[in-house]
Chain A
Amino acid sequence: MELSSFLIQLLNGVQYGLLLFMLAAGLTLVFGIMDVVNLAHGSFYMLGAYLAYSLSSTFDSLALAIVAGAFMSVVFGLLLEWLLIRHVYQRDHLDQVLLTFGLIYIFEELRSIVWGDDVHGVKIPELFSASIPLTENMSYPIYRLFMSGICVALAIALYLLISKTRLGMKIRAGAFNRDMTEALGINIKLIHAFVFALGVGLAAVVGMIAAPVSSVYPGMGMPVLIICFVVVVIGGIGSVRGALIAALLVGLVDTFGKVLLPQVASMLVYALMAAVLLWKPEGLFKK
């Protein structure tokens, strides 16, 4: 492999990994803090992509669409948490699996009613539509760099929120000991609602910024959900740092696998997961 194409694949792998990280971070936070299995996480990603498709044509600007869409999805997450999710925190994982599976059906069908079953494209904003030339016939699109930049910014914001703010302290305390935190006068219900809505918002925002590259199509949430599961299993449930390392690992293995071993590329990440399970059944960074 030439250096320039290696560089492009490396950038692609890192960019895919960062995208996966933002998705898996929402999932692993909801797992780790509320002990809830959320199969509908992929649906929120899909919802974000469709919102980007609709809103970007309404506002004629992807940036405005992302801001409006993020706000809408957070409100939607709060509503969903209040209506359904908060009633299954104390219940068996089985009930959570079924509830969120039912939600997948509902969201998928509503998507079909509202947007139909066609594949749609979302235009890359003018500002980022150029490419950086690397060699005579190879270049790297700026929009992909922009995506990575957004993911890094979100990741830093998430880190600061969880580990440096008062709210983050309360979130961590709630995850550590729910009853004690509540006894200290902290409204844990509100905290949980916030964390769930944050997860929904993250998934939707990733769906929105990925929409111009991945296009928008029915059932797009499912493969994403499964690969996120792989990331969370490798990284260890509840560990955001683990999710980062695992997401980058999965992103690189998947990208280079497709180039170097195309016949077995779709199996490679699962093989990676199996290896981690043998070595550390609770993930690389289980606390």
Chain B
Amino acid sequence: MAAPMANLEVLPRSVRLTLLLGLIALAVFPYMSGPYYTEMVTRMMIMAIFAMSLDLLQGVTGLVSLGHAAFFGIAGYTLAFLTPAVEPVSLWWTLPLAVLSSALAALVIGFFVVRTKGIYFIMVTMAFAQMIYYLFFDNKVLGGSDGLYINFRPDASLFGWLPFDLENRVTLYYATLVLLVGCYLFLRSLLWSPFGRALAAIRVNEHRMCAAGFNTFGYKLTAFTLAGAMAGFAGYFYGMQTGYANPELMGFHLSAHSIMMVILGGMGNFAGAIVGAFAFEYLLHLFKELPVIGGIDFGKHWQLWMGFFIVAVVMFAPRGLLGLMDRLGRGRGPRGERHE
């Protein structure tokens, strides 16, 4: 069984140009639109960071994790626990602590799961994520099924000086944009570092990497922990933006959504994860806002449309939007099928 093929690790010029135009559009967006869409795009960018963190596992290393939301949720919950009811808490120590708790959880769970391969990996990541989900869902001390409120966004002041105020919607938007660009550049350079090459080689042929003397367990565990930490960044920002942390943040649905985002854009190059996250979140918004026609509330049944959409993507565009673009551009191209 060969691993899924690498998708456009070297981005064609057209895609790079599109990304640059996208960045410019994101940079001026808050000035062009109202508060509602600014918040929506902030959430899309947070999801893009989350999707990129999964892409490191799914697209680069070939590990399909169906429990990645657990690490997203843990950071959100950490912020909720650290924020007192009546005053904000400092950004500068809660963010590292939240990311660290996600990383630690990923290290412990990773220690068990990266021993497994293929179907086992999928099932085991899902089972451990559900274990954490139920831990929070069943325990009143941890917020129970309702979750916890985060009454104040973290305070960014340093020794009395306030460089930026996260309570401001536009400031939060730009903070998220900076994080998004930072994560993207970090992951792109990681992809071409010796560590990233080793991960890609593990996807292509793990046996050969073992034979070549690489400790693949260590590499995979490091990648799993790193991806968990980055999901923690996204989860912290999500908790900060929405003002709550509930078990749904670690739920199975969010994990599956993130896989869908990575697939939708095209995996293994991080740019696709961003495109996919934006497209998926926009579609979700679109489906939920469908109008009532002839007494039938189409928006209420968004799960049905999303289900049909996902099935259609798997059947007709298995390499995602970037793959589709590339194939149409070249008029040919390998399909995303597995070769036995």
Contact = CB atoms under 8 A, between A and B. Distances in A.
Contact of B314 (A95, A222, A226): A95
Contact of B127 (A106, A222, A229, A237): A229
A228 B135 CA distance: 19
Given A226-B130, A266-B135, A266-B138, A93 B310 contact: no
Given A91-B318, A109-B301, A233 B127 contact: yes
Contact of B308 (A102, A267, A278): A102
B53 interface: no
B55 to A, nearest CB: 12
A109 B259 contact: no
B307 A104 contact: yes
Given A31-B119, A98-B310, A226-B127, A91 B338 contact: yes
Contacts of A283: 120
Interface of A: 31, 35, 37, 84, 87-88, 90-95, 97-99, 101-106, 108-110, 112-113, 222, 226, 229-230, 232-233, 237, 266-267, 270, 273-274, 277-278, 281-283
A113 B124 contact: no
Contact of A229 (B123, B303, B311, B315): B123
Interface residues of B, number: 44
Contacts of A97: 64, 66, 122, 256, 259
Interface stretch (B110-118, B186-194, B270-278): B110-118
B126 A94 contact: no
A90 B340 contact: yes
A90 B260 CA distance: 20
A282 B120 contact: yes
Interface of B: 4, 58, 64, 66, 112-113, 115-116, 118-120, 122-124, 126-128, 130-131, 134-135, 138, 252, 256, 259-260, 263, 301, 303-304, 306-311, 313-315, 318, 336-338, 340
Given A95-B318, A97-B256, A108-B303, 18 more contacts: A37-B122, A92-B336, A97-B66, A98-B256, A98-B260, A98-B310, A99-B310, A101-B256, A102-B311, A102-B314, A106-B304, A110-B304, A229-B124, A229-B126, A266-B134, A267-B134, A281-B120, A282-B120
B315 A87 contact: yes
B308 A106 contact: yes
A109 B288 CA distance: 13
Given A99-B311, A109-B307, A90 B116 contact: no
Contacts of B118: 93
Contacts of B303: 105-106, 108-109
Given A102-B310, A105-B303, A277 B112 contact: yes
B124 A233 contact: yes
A58 B119 CA distance: 41
A94 B311 contact: no
B58 A91 contact: no
Given A98-B260, A106-B304, A237-B119, A91 B337 contact: yes
B126 A226 contact: yes
Contacts of B308: 102, 106
Given A92-B337, A281-B120, A98 B306 contact: no
Given A98-B310, A102-B308, A113-B301, A93 B122 contact: yes
Nearest to B336: A92
A86 B105 CA distance: 37
B243 to A, nearest CB: 26
A92 B4 contact: yes
Contacts of A92: 4, 318, 336-338
